[in-house]
């Protein structure tokens, strides 16, 4: 048992060196709903591709935009989410939504300033579309400073589909911004992680990376079913935090469910 723990610890340290703490927003099934039927989303923080979770601070703002464009505040209910690496309970939150009308709802989450493992201060933004029986405005913005605009409808997608989007900062397209695409996993056997020729974890197999073109456009696909996240990061200089200055970065995430 001790040997397994030590092996897991070594592998976890290796994975944690990625410093990829992001907001996680998903449901237990797909992103569809029905009028009058409750749907539960989970909000967490961690490294999705590696099933590694952290405690999440209460976000600064959390709201939903209805099909009519109305902004409504959400209620967060604290829950436990287990990190399978060490079966450790982490702080996460439930968001319960009972739609009153058909259409496309946009869930919007703004995280608080958080210090990452590599000493960078970040503020994260996450969103996902909640489709309720009727197609309406699926390319709507949450009005985040840094945001992804879907140019392919972000639901009703099957694995292998080509997805197109665009990155904006304060309303202007961002060129040559790195995009990371990864799948959410809840279980990952450390001993079965694929290795490269140096016997190290083959991280690029889990994290796809690309860059926007001169107009902020990007294209990607999804090889597996399940929840996927597209992430863009944008450095914004230095910011004071706890009487110390840190490199400051904005992160924005678009969560998408992909069918088999």
| 206/16 Cα distance (integer angstroms) | 13
Confidence category of residue 20, pLDDT binned at 50, 70, 90: low
Predicted TM-score of the model (pTM): 0.91
Is the predicted pLDDT of residue 5 greater than 50, yes or no? Answer: no
Q: Tell me what pLDDT residue 223 has.
A: 95
Confidence category of residue 85, pLDDT binned at 50, 70, 90: confident
Confidence category of residue 167, pLDDT binned at 50, 70, 90: very high
Q: Tell me what pLDDT residue 86 has.
A: 78
Residue 54: closest CA among 94, 101, 19: 19
Q: Which fold has domain 2-259?
A: Immunoglobulin-like (2.60.40)
| 98/41 Cα distance (integer angstroms) | 11
Is the predicted pLDDT of residue 14 greater than 70, yes or no? Answer: no
Q: What mean pLDDT comes out for the span 154-163?
A: 97
For the chain, the distance separating the N- and C-terminal CA atoms, rounded to the nearest angstrom, is: 37
Q: Tell me what pLDDT residue 54 has.
A: 92
Confidence category of residue 173, pLDDT binned at 50, 70, 90: very high
Percent of the chain at pLDDT > 70 equals: 92
Q: Using only C-alpha atoms, what is the Rg of the chain?
A: 18
Tell me if residue 11 falls in helix, strand or coil: helix
Q: Tell me what pLDDT residue 1 has.
A: 44
Q: Tell me what pLDDT residue 2 has.
A: 39
């Amino acid at each position: 048992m001790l040997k397994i723990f030590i092996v897991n610890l070594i592998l976890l340290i290796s994975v944690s060196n990625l410093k990829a703490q992001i907001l996680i927003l998903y449901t237990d099934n797909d992103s569809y709903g029905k009028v009058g039927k409750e749907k539960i989303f989970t909000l967490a923080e961690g490294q999705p591709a590696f099933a590694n979770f952290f405690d999440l601070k209460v976000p600064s703002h959390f709201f939903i935009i209805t099909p009519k464009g109305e902004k409504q505040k959400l209620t967060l209910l604290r829950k436990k989410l287990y990190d399978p690496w060490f079966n450790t309970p982490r702080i996460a939150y439930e968001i319960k939504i009972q739609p009153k009308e058909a259409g496309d709802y946009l869930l919007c989450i703004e995280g608080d300033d958080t210090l990452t493992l590599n000493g960078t201060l970040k503020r994260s933004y996450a969103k996902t579309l909640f489709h309720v029986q009727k197609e309406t405005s699926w390319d709507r913005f949450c009005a985040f400073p840094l945001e992804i605009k879907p140019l392919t409808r972000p639901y009703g997608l099957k694995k292998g589909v080509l997805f197109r989007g665009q990155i904006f900062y304060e309303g202007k397209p961002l060129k040559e911004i790195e995009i990371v695409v990864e799948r959410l996993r809840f279980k990952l056997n450390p001993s079965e992680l694929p290795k490269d020729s140096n016997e190290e974890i083959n991280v690029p197999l889990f994290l796809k990376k690309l860059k926007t073109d001169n107009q902020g456009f990007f294209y990607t696909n999804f090889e597996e079913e399940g929840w996927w996240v597209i992430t863009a990061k944008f450095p914004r200089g230095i910011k004071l935090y706890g009487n110390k200055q840190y490199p400051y970065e904005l992160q924005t995430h678009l969560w998408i469910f992909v069918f088999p």
